[in-house]
């Protein structure tokens, strides 16, 4: 299918055909949302057991009460989920993004939209996930969606606000038209890089927030971690070319707040277990789903070194995760690090 054909599809309105790649909680929650909006969904999972369960019950055990309708089809086959679809939604864990994109590349038509909804930075390349997809599928129109949006709440229709980022306004507006309804509000942005960095790095800070919870600390500590955490995210993000305004918005501070505060957050839950004395491996196994902050933490420090910025919270998370430092010692070092001004470029009045 040629790009011109997709232009026609975007203008026609009404029902769209959407392939969702990934049968985790986020992919299934978005399938439920899009199906209720009147679109025809093909959901692809690699798990035969999950596909069989969804065909029988139209429900996923990790999203109780979220029922999928009759306009959702389920498949194990890549081609059924990709060919002829108006849009593809990539809802796979960040560590599988490159393999998935490479596998599907030959099935994707020129100009076909791929909307990435996962959050992370590829550890060994330090690339954002949209960059990974574009490298593997250069002929696709790659966009991203991010913001404070737990699958458990989106699936139940809890009011949620999110941002779609794309290279062109027309693509962003088309994606918005597919998702937006009375409980799911969609803003659009051209700052794909800033959105992705905010979405990836907040998971590392959420691990720190969880660790603090696991240690038994309180609201003062959580507020400090969120506030100083977004400062670190914006410091690195703007150095890399992201827009400061993005980090002040839904995909920055908004996503950070919800991920640090909610028990829906896998990263916070893993952090709590680590703060209680579990190892990284034990915590990830107990959570039982992808803990994206663990995968992004090392990449964040590599980027900090490359762009010569300081990320003290993220640095201490890395020390806890990968160097065996105790959580108590990490917190002590954060509290006793060099004295700083909160905002370094604010002028002092002249002393009399």
Which pLDDT does position 339 carry in this prediction?
Answer: 66
Q: Which of 34-38, 106-110, 295-299 has the lowest mean pLDDT?
A: 295-299
Residue 8 predicted with pLDDT over 50: no
Terminus-to-terminus CA distance in the chain, angstroms?
74
Contacts of 4 (CB under 8 A, 6+ apart): 111
The answer on pLDDT for 151 being more than 70 is yes
Chain-centre distance for alpha carbon 254: 12
With a cut of 60, say whether residue 5 has pLDDT above it: no
| DSSP track, 38-86 | T-EEEEE-S-HHHHHHHHHHS--TTSTT----TTEEEES-HHHHHTT-S
Mean pLDDT across the stretch 238-252?
A: 97
Could you tell me where the DSSP H helices lie in the chain?
3-12, 25-36, 48-57, 78-82, 97-104, 129-136, 151-156, 169-179, 192-214, 219-240, 244-247, 255-261, 266-275, 280-287, 292-307, 312-322, 327-336
Q: Give me the pLDDT at residue 225, please.
A: 92
pLDDT higher than 50, residue 342 = yes
Over range 134-158, report the average pLDDT: 96
| Cβ–Cβ < 8 Å for 112, 287 | no
Please write the tens of the pLDDT for every residue from 52-107: 999 999 999 889 889 998 889 999 999 999 999 999 999 999 999 999 999 999 99
Mean pLDDT confidence for 137-155: 96
Reference 183, options 209, 157, 147, 201; nearest CA is 157
Bridge-based pairing of strands 160-165 and 141-146 is antiparallel
Q: Tell me how far apart the alpha carbons of residues 90 and 70 are, in angstroms, rounded to a whole number.
A: 22
Non-local CB neighbours of 323 within 8 Å, separated by 6+ positions: none
- Count Cα atoms within 13 angstroms, Cβ side, for 265: 30
* Cβ atoms within 10 Å of 76's Cβ, excluding its own: 15
| Average pLDDT of the segment spanning 126-135 | 97
Is 202 considered catalytic here?
yes
Q: Which two tokens stand for residue 108?
A: 């994707």
d(CA 126, CA 300): 8
pLDDT at 120: 93
DSSP 283-295: HHHHH-S--HHHH
**pLDDT at residue 222 is higher than 50:** yes
Strand arrangement, sheet containing 141-146: 72-75, 40-44, 17-21, 87-90, 113-116, 141-146, 160-165, 184-189
> Which residue among the candidates 202, 222, 243, 298 is catalytic per the annotation?
202
Task: Give percent of the chain above pLDDT 70.
Answer: 95
What distance in Å separates the CA atoms of residue 334 and residue 278, rounded to the nearest whole number?
21
pLDDT (0 to 100) of residue 288: 85
- For residue 338, pLDDT over 90 is answered with no
Confidence bin at 245 (pLDDT 50/70/90): very high
The answer on pLDDT for 286 being more than 50 is yes
- Structural contact between residues 306 and 254, judged by C-beta atoms closer than 8 angstroms: no
The pLDDT mean for the chain works out to 92
pLDDT over 60 at 13, yes or no: no
Quickly state the pLDDT bin for 214 (edges 50, 70, 90).
very high
Stated pTM of the model: 0.90
* Predicted local confidence at residue 1, as pLDDT: 39
């Amino acid at each position: 299918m040629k790009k011109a054909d997709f232009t026609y599809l975007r203008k026609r309105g009404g029902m769209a055909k959407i392939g969702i790649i990934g049968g985790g909680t986020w992919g299934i929650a978005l399938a439920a949302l899009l199906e209720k909006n009147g679109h025809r969904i093909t959901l692809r999972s690699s798990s035969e057991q999950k596909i069989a369960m969804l065909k029988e019950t139209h429900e996923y055990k990790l999203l109780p009460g979220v029922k999928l309708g009759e306009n959702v089809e389920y498949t194990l086959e890549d081609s059924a989920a990709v060919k002829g679809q108006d849009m593809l939604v990539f809802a796979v864990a960040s560590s599988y993004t490159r393999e998935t994109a490479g596998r599907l590349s030959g099935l994707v038509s020129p100009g076909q939209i791929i909307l990435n909804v996962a959050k992370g930075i590829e550890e060994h390349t330090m690339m954002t996930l949209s960059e990974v997809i574009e490298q593997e599928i250069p002929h696709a129109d790659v966009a991203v969606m991010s913001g404070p949006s737990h699958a458990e709440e989106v699936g139940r229709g809890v009011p949620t606000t999110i941002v779609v980022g794309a290279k062109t306004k027309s693509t962003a507006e088309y994606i918005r038209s597919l998702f937006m309804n009375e409980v799911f509000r969609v803003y659009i942005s051209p700052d794909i890089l800033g959105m992705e960095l905010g979405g990836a790095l907040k998971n590392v800070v959420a691990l720190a927030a969880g660790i603090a919870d696991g240690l038994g600390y309180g609201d003062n500590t959580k507020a400090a971690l969120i506030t100083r955490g977004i400062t670190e995210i914006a410091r690195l993000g703007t150095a890399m070319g992201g827009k400061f305004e993005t980090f002040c918005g839904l995909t920055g501070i908004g996503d950070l707040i919800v991920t640090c505060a909610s028990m829906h957050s896998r990263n916070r839950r893993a952090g709590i277990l680590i703060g209680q004395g579990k190892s990284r491996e034990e915590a990830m196994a107990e959570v039982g789903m992808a803990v994206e902050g663990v995968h992004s933490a090392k990449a964040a420090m590599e980027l900090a070194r490359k762009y010569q910025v300081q990320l003290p919270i993220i640095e201490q998370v890395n020390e806890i995760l990968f160097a065996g430092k105790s959580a108590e010692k990490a917190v002590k070092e954060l509290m006793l690090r060099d004295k700083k001004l909160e905002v370094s470029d604010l002028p002092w009045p002249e002393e009399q």
